[in-house]
Structure 1
Amino acid sequence: MVKEKLIPDYIFESSWEVCNKVGGIYTVLSTRAKTIKDKLQDKLIFIGPDFWKEKESPYFQEDKDLFREWKEKASEEGLAVRVGRWSVPGEPVTILIDFKPFFDKKNEIYSWLWEHYQVDSLHAYGDYDEASMFSYAAALVVESFYNNNIDSSKRVIYHGNEWMTGLGLLYINYKLPQIGTLFTTHATSIGRSIAGNMKPLYDYLFAYNGDQMSVELNMQSKHSIEKQTAMYVDCFTTVSDITANECKELLDKPVDVVLPNGFDNSFVPNASVFAKKRKAARKRLIEVANALLGDNLDDDTMIISTSGRYEFRNKGIDVYIESLNRLLRSKELKKRVLAFIEVPGWVGEPRHDLVERLNSGKSFDTPLEVPLVTHWLHEMSHDNTLGMMKYFDMHNRKDDMVKVIFLPCYLDGNDGVLNMTYYDIVLGNDLCVYPSYYEPWGYTPLESIAFKVPCITTDLAGFGLWANSVKGGFSDIQDGVKVIHRTDYNYSEVADTIKDTIARYSNFTKKEIDAARKKADVLSKKALWTEFIKYYYDAYDIALVKAEERKCREAQ
C-alpha cells in the first residue's frame, strides 16, 4: 500500500531574490509560484528583502489591507514589514522585510549561531553579513506570523534558498520544531568558487575537502553556514544530479531530493502574437547592429546570442568568443552571423553616438568607434569580454562574416539602446549558445527552447544532462538542443564543436530549421512546472514527516 503524502497547509519561502531580480533563482521562484499557488492559494507566502522602502518597486505591489492586524503585531515586535503581491504569474502573497535594524545585534546573533550550530561567522566579509541579517529577519517574520495567525494543528513548511537563508532555517529549526524545514542549494558556494578560481572541479571532485578548500579560497563563513544548514534541516535539496554529487563531496551531506527547475510558459506569447514579436525583435537587433557597425545586415542574417550572469569562465563566455573567432575562418558558414553577448557588465551609460544614429532613422556605411559594444563601461580596459576580443583582433571589420556585439546590461526594457526586455528579445534569435563549465541547472537554455529557439549547451549543465536523458543519448541540434560533452580539459574541442554546429545550422533548409524549432518547443513542454512540481511535494512530505515525529515526541 502506497503511503499518502503529507501536504502542507502553509508554505513560507524565502530568498534574497524574492522581488529582487539578480539571477536564476528569481526565475525559479517567480515561474513556480503560480503552480503552487493554484493549490495553496494565499497560504503560499514569499519573504524577501525590502530594498525599495518608499520607492516604487517594479516587482512588488503593496496591499495595505492584507494581514493588517498581523502587521500591527509585527510592528510592535520590532519588525518593519510591507505586505503585498509579487508581480509575477499567480501574484503570490509576499512579505518584504527591512533587515537593516538587525545589524546592531549582529555579534549576539552570530554568537547564538556558533553556540547552537557551530557556524563560523568569524571570517565573514562582503555579502555574508547582509545576507545573514536578512535571513534572521525572515525567520522572525515566520515566527511572528506562525504564533499570531496559524493553528498548531496546521502543517507548515519553511523553505529557504541558498546559503543566504541558512541562518533563518537554523533559527526556525531550533525555535519552532513543529515547522518542517527545507533547504535548497542551487549551487554550492565552494563548488562555484573552485570553478571560478580556474581550478579543475570535476576530475578532482572526489579528492577535494570542502572545509579545507573553504580556508584556501577564503570562503569559511559561507561554506560553514551552508554545510551546517544542510546537516540540520529536515529536507536538503538541490537542482540537478551534478550539484547533488557536489553536495555529497563538498558538504559531506547527500541530498534528500533533486528538484529540477521547471518553466511556466505563460511568459511565451501565443501563436497569434509570436510571429509578430519575433519579427520586431529581429528588426530591432539588426537596426542596433547596423547603426553600430555601419553595415547593412538584413533579415537573412543568422542571429545568435549567449546570456546570463557575467561569470566569464563558468558560463562559458570565453569558449563562446573562442568559437566565434574560429567561425570567422570557417569555409562551411553559409550565412552572415550576428552574435550577441548579453551579460550585465559594469555599465557606465548608453552610447550617445549610437542612440543618435538610431534616432536619426538614416543608414550609415562607416562604423562607430569601438564597434563592439552598445554601452560604455567603467574600466573598459579591464573587461574580460572586450579584452578577449581585442586579443583575437576581433574588430567587426566590413568583410567579416561574423559580427560580435557586447550588450553589457540587464535587458529590462529601459537600457537606453535596445529598450526591449530579455523575453521580448530572445525569441528573435535563430540559435542560442550556453557552453557552461559550471551550471547547476541552466535556465537560459530552457528559456531559449521555450521560445522555440534551438540552443547549444553542455553536459556540465543540469539542463544538458536532462535533455540527454529525455533523448536517451547525446541530444543534437536537430533535436532542438545540442549537448556538447565538456570536461575540465577539453576547452578547444568544445570551441570547435560550437563553431561546427553553428556552421552546420547555417546550412539547414527552412524545413530542417522548422523541424528543429518544433522539437525545441516540444522538449520545453516536458520541463514545465506541472511536470516537475511533484518533486517538491516529495520534499515537503519528507520535511513534514520529521516535523510530525517531533510533535509526537513532545506530546508523549
Structure 2
Amino acid sequence: MKLFEESWEVCNKVGGIYTVLSTKAKYLVEKYGKDYFLIGPFVKNNIEYVEEPLPSFLEKVYTDLSNMGIKVHYGYWNIDGKPQVILVDFYDFFKKEINYWKYKYWEWYRIDSLGSDYTYDEPFSWSVAVGILLEELDKVFPEKKVLHAHEWLSGGTILYLKAKGLGYRTIFTIHGTVLGRSLSSRNIDVIETLNKINPDQEAYSMRVHYKHQMEKNAVKHSDIFTTVSPILAKESEVFLGKSPDRIIYNAILSKDRDIYKDYLFARRWLEEFVVWYFFPYYYIDLKNTFFMYTIGRYEYYNKGLDLVIKIAKRLNEENIGKNIIFFIFVPTGVTGIYRNVIRLYSSYRLLKEILEKEKTEIVGSILREDYSKIRKIFEEVLPKISKGNKPDIITHELFDKNDLIYNELQKAGLDNEESDRVKIIYAPVYIGQDIIFDLPKEKILPGFDLGIFLSRYEPFGYTALESLYYGVPIVLSNRTGFALSLDYYNLKSDYICLVDVKNIDNEEEKIIEFIRNLSSLDPARILDIRKELYNISKFYDWSSRILDYISLYES
C-alpha cells in the first residue's frame, strides 16, 4: 500500500494542521516507511525542507508534469521521522490553466467559482496539480493507494481523482468548516446559528460559496469523511449535509521532558527579554512578575482575541500583587522589526559580549575600586541605545497600519506606561522564525505562568493542549473541541480554568481570581502543578492515537 497525505500546511506553517501533520508523521514513517508520502506546496527558501535527488519513480513524472507547468520537488521534512515529501510548484500551471479547470469543476460538480478570489484560486490550482501528479503516480504504483486530504484546500484533489475514475481510496478530514469560520469571524455565534440559516445561501451572501461548495463536494465524494471533534461533527451535519464517518481527536508528539529544567531555561529567556526590552525605560521586579501568553492564528473574533484584551484590561485595573507581562503571539504581515526594538536588542547583545569578554578585568577593577573600565563600557554602549518615551507594545512594523489587535490594545489603555500593571508584548511573528524570537516555541513557552485561550470557534484547539504539554496552566474556552475532549475522557485539574465565552462578563471575576490564586502559589506547588498538567497532555500522544488513522488506511 502507498499512503499519500496531502495538505497546504506540509512544510508550510499556517495553523494547527501543521501541528497535526508534523507531530504524527514520525509514527506513520515507523509504520509505512518509504510507502508514506506527504504532499504540499513548494515554497522557496524553506528551512524545514531538505531537497534530494528525484527517485527513479518520479523522473518520468517530473518530465511529463514540467511540460504542463507543474514542477515536482522531492526531499524530506526536517522533523521527527524525516518523512519524505513531494512539494508541488504549480504557479506556471496556475497562470495558464486556472480558468479551464474552474470550468471543469463547474461541469463536474457545479462548483460556482466565477468571481472567486486569490484565496480560492491559489490552493484550488495547487490541488488540481496534485491530482494530476497522483494520476501519473497511478501508472507507476499498481498496488493499493490511499489519499488522506486535509481541508477544502485539498478537496480539489479528491474531486479530480473521482472525476477521472482513479483507484485511490480517499479520506477527507476537516478541521473546521468554511462557513463556520466565516460566521465566527463576523462575531456570529456558530452554535446558535446552526439551525437558523440556509447554509448554501449564507455562503453566497458572505462570498465564500466557492470554498463552501468545494468542501461540501469533497465531503460527499470522499470514501471516508472525518472530523476532529463532536462540535465539528454537528456543524458538518448541518452545513455540509453529512455527519462524519469517524471523529478522531488530534494528538501531539509527546516526549519525556524535564519539566523543571525546561521551565528554568525558558524563564531565563523571558526574564532576559524583559531586561533588554523594558529596563532601558524603567525597572520591573522580575522576582515579582507573572508571565502570561496567548498564541494562535490571526482570527480576531474566532480566537477570542477581543476577549483576551478585555481580560488584560481588567487585570490592568486590578491589583493581584504581581507585575504582569503579557505576550500576544499572533503572526501577521510585517515589514521588519521596529527600528527602536532592534537597536535595544543589538545594544544589549553588544553589552553582553563586552561583559563576557572583559569580566575578569571588570571584577578586578571593582575590587580595586577603579570604575574607569565600567565607565568606558557605558560610554561605548549607552549612546547606541536610542529609545522613545516608553517601550513599544509591538515588536515589529506591521503592513496593516490599522491592525485590529494593536488598535484595540491602545483603546484599552494597554500602552506600557510605567504605572501599568500589565505590560504588553505583541509579537506578530512565528516563534523560532525571527531574530528576537530565535528559539523554537518549546524552548520559550514552558517559562510562562499561564496560557489564555478564549476562542469562540475552535473545533479542536492545539494551543491549549501544547500549553499543558509545557506544564503551563490554562484559561480555556468551553467552545473548543479540546475542552470537550477533556470532559469526554474525564481529565480534570484545578489549573485548567474552563470559561463560558458566551457569557464572558459573568466569567471575568472567575478568571481574575484564578490568576490571582495561581500567582500566589509557592514554587514547590507550582512545580507539582506543572508535572500534573504535563501528565494530562501525555494522554493525547500520537503513539496510541495514530491507530485510529491506521485503521482507516487499512480498512
Partner of 2:108: 116
Checking the alignment, whether the CA contact within 8 Å between 2:414 and 2:422 is kept in structure 1 is: no
Q: Which runs of 5+ in 2 are unaligned?
A: 352-381
**In structure 2, what is the Cα distance between the partners aligned to 1:493 and 1:397?**
29
Checking the alignment, whether the CA contact within 8 Å between 2:26 and 2:80 is kept in structure 1 is: yes
Checking the alignment, whether the CA contact within 8 Å between 2:289 and 2:324 is kept in structure 1 is: yes
SS of the aligned residue for 2:321 comes to coil
Report the residue type matching 1:371 in the other structure: D
> Which stretch of structure 1 is more off in the superposition, 500-509 or 217-226?
500-509
Checking the alignment, whether the CA contact within 8 Å between 1:340 and 1:404 is kept in structure 2 is: yes
1:380-423: CA deviation from partner (whole Å, max 9, x where unpaired): 4x121222222222222223322222112222242x33333323
**In structure 2, what is the Cα distance between the partners aligned to 1:411 and 1:280?**
16
Report the residue type matching 1:14 in the other structure: E
Checking the alignment, whether the CA contact within 8 Å between 2:263 and 2:446 is kept in structure 1 is: no
Alignment of 1:461-540 (within 5 A): 461-471=480-490, 475-478=492-495, 481-487=496-502, 490-540=503-553
Checking the alignment, whether the CA contact within 8 Å between 1:315 and 1:439 is kept in structure 2 is: yes
> Which stretch of structure 1 is more off in the superposition, 292-301 or 307-316?
292-301
Q: CA deviation at 1:365?
A: 13
Q: CA deviation at 1:43?
A: 0.7
**In structure 2, what is the Cα distance between the partners aligned to 1:220 and 1:366?**
49
Checking the alignment, whether the CA contact within 8 Å between 1:291 and 1:357 is kept in structure 2 is: no
Q: CA deviation at 1:269?
A: 5.4
**In structure 1, what is the Cα distance between the partners aligned to 2:91 and 2:252?**
33
Report the residue type matching 2:518 in the other structure: Y
Residue 186 (1) aligns with residue 199 (2): no
Partner of 1:32: 24
**In structure 2, what is the Cα distance between the partners aligned to 1:428 and 1:413?**
19
Partner of 1:241: 230
Checking the alignment, whether the CA contact within 8 Å between 1:240 and 1:462 is kept in structure 2 is: yes
**In structure 2, what is the Cα distance between the partners aligned to 1:292 and 1:379?**
28
1:353-399: CA deviation from partner (whole Å, max 9, x where unpaired): 2232233347999974463122222344x121222222222222223
**In structure 1, what is the Cα distance between the partners aligned to 2:194 and 2:329?**
31
Checking the alignment, whether the CA contact within 8 Å between 1:477 and 1:501 is kept in structure 2 is: no
Alignment of 1:218-237 (within 5 A): 218-237=207-226
Report the residue type matching 2:100 in the other structure: E
Partner of 1:324: 312
Alignment of 1:66-145 (within 5 A): 66-77=54-65, 78=67, 79-103=70-94, 104-145=96-137
**In structure 2, what is the Cα distance between the partners aligned to 1:303 and 1:57?**
32
Q: CA deviation at 1:438?
A: 0.8
Report the residue type matching 2:529 in the other structure: A
SS of the aligned residue for 1:471 comes to coil
Partner of 2:410: 390
Residue 348 (1) aligns with residue 335 (2): yes
Residue 209 (1) aligns with residue 198 (2): yes
SS of the aligned residue for 1:419 comes to coil
Report the residue type matching 2:208 in the other structure: M
1:169-202: CA deviation from partner (whole Å, max 9, x where unpaired): 0111232442110111111011100000122211
Partner of 2:367: none
Partner of 2:450: 431
Alignment of 1:362-441 (within 5 A): 368-369=389-390, 371-380=392-401, 382-414=402-434, 416-441=435-460
**In structure 2, what is the Cα distance between the partners aligned to 1:398 and 1:111?**
60
TM-score by length of 1: 0.88
TM-score by length of 2: 0.88
Residue 449 (1) aligns with residue 449 (2): no
Report the residue type matching 2:447 in the other structure: G
**In structure 1, what is the Cα distance between the partners aligned to 2:279 and 2:138?**
57
Partner of 1:3: none
Residue 47 (1) aligns with residue 39 (2): yes
1:11-57: CA deviation from partner (whole Å, max 9, x where unpaired): 101111111111111111111101111100011101111121xxx42
SS of the aligned residue for 2:233 comes to helix
SS of the aligned residue for 1:127 comes to helix
Specify whether residues 390 and 279 from structure 1 end up closer, same or farther in structure 2 by C-alpha distance, changes over 3 A only: closer
Residue 175 (1) aligns with residue 164 (2): yes
SS of the aligned residue for 1:357 comes to helix
Report the residue type matching 2:345 in the other structure: L
Checking the alignment, whether the CA contact within 8 Å between 2:260 and 2:527 is kept in structure 1 is: no
> Which stretch of structure 1 is more off in the superposition, 124-133 or 405-414?
405-414
Checking the alignment, whether the CA contact within 8 Å between 1:187 and 1:440 is kept in structure 2 is: yes
**In structure 1, what is the Cα distance between the partners aligned to 2:129 and 2:386?**
57
Report the residue type matching 1:302 in the other structure: F
Q: 1:164 aligns with which of 135, 146, 153?
A: 153
Report the residue type matching 2:473 in the other structure: P
Specify whether residues 273 and 502 from structure 1 end up closer, same or farther in structure 2 by C-alpha distance, changes over 3 A only: closer
Partner of 2:8: 16
Specify whether residues 338 and 292 from structure 1 end up closer, same or farther in structure 2 by C-alpha distance, changes over 3 A only: farther
Q: CA deviation at 1:62?
A: 1.0
Specify whether residues 293 and 244 from structure 1 end up closer, same or farther in structure 2 by C-alpha distance, changes over 3 A only: farther
Specify whether residues 370 and 290 from structure 1 end up closer, same or farther in structure 2 by C-alpha distance, changes over 3 A only: closer
Residue 60 (1) aligns with residue 49 (2): yes
> Which stretch of structure 1 is more off in the superposition, 213-222 or 294-303?
294-303
Question: Among the aligned pairs, what percent are the same residue?
Answer: 29
SS of the aligned residue for 2:147 comes to strand
**In structure 2, what is the Cα distance between the partners aligned to 1:94 and 1:448?**
29
**In structure 2, what is the Cα distance between the partners aligned to 1:455 and 1:367?**
34
**In structure 1, what is the Cα distance between the partners aligned to 2:64 and 2:490?**
57
Report the residue type matching 2:497 in the other structure: K
**In structure 2, what is the Cα distance between the partners aligned to 1:369 and 1:272?**
34
Specify whether residues 167 and 359 from structure 1 end up closer, same or farther in structure 2 by C-alpha distance, changes over 3 A only: closer
Checking the alignment, whether the CA contact within 8 Å between 2:229 and 2:248 is kept in structure 1 is: yes
CA RMSD, Structure 1 to Structure 2 (Å)? 2.3
Checking the alignment, whether the CA contact within 8 Å between 2:331 and 2:427 is kept in structure 1 is: yes
Specify whether residues 29 and 531 from structure 1 end up closer, same or farther in structure 2 by C-alpha distance, changes over 3 A only: same
Checking the alignment, whether the CA contact within 8 Å between 1:31 and 1:264 is kept in structure 2 is: yes
Specify whether residues 269 and 351 from structure 1 end up closer, same or farther in structure 2 by C-alpha distance, changes over 3 A only: farther
**In structure 2, what is the Cα distance between the partners aligned to 1:109 and 1:292?**
58
**In structure 2, what is the Cα distance between the partners aligned to 1:73 and 1:304?**
50
Rg (Cα) greater in structure: 2
Specify whether residues 377 and 293 from structure 1 end up closer, same or farther in structure 2 by C-alpha distance, changes over 3 A only: farther
Checking the alignment, whether the CA contact within 8 Å between 1:50 and 1:97 is kept in structure 2 is: yes
**In structure 2, what is the Cα distance between the partners aligned to 1:176 and 1:300?**
65
Residue 264 (1) aligns with residue 253 (2): yes
Specify whether residues 335 and 108 from structure 1 end up closer, same or farther in structure 2 by C-alpha distance, changes over 3 A only: same
**In structure 1, what is the Cα distance between the partners aligned to 2:552 and 2:280?**
50
Report the residue type matching 1:181 in the other structure: T
Report the residue type matching 1:469 in the other structure: Y
Checking the alignment, whether the CA contact within 8 Å between 2:467 and 2:473 is kept in structure 1 is: yes
**In structure 1, what is the Cα distance between the partners aligned to 2:280 and 2:217?**
51
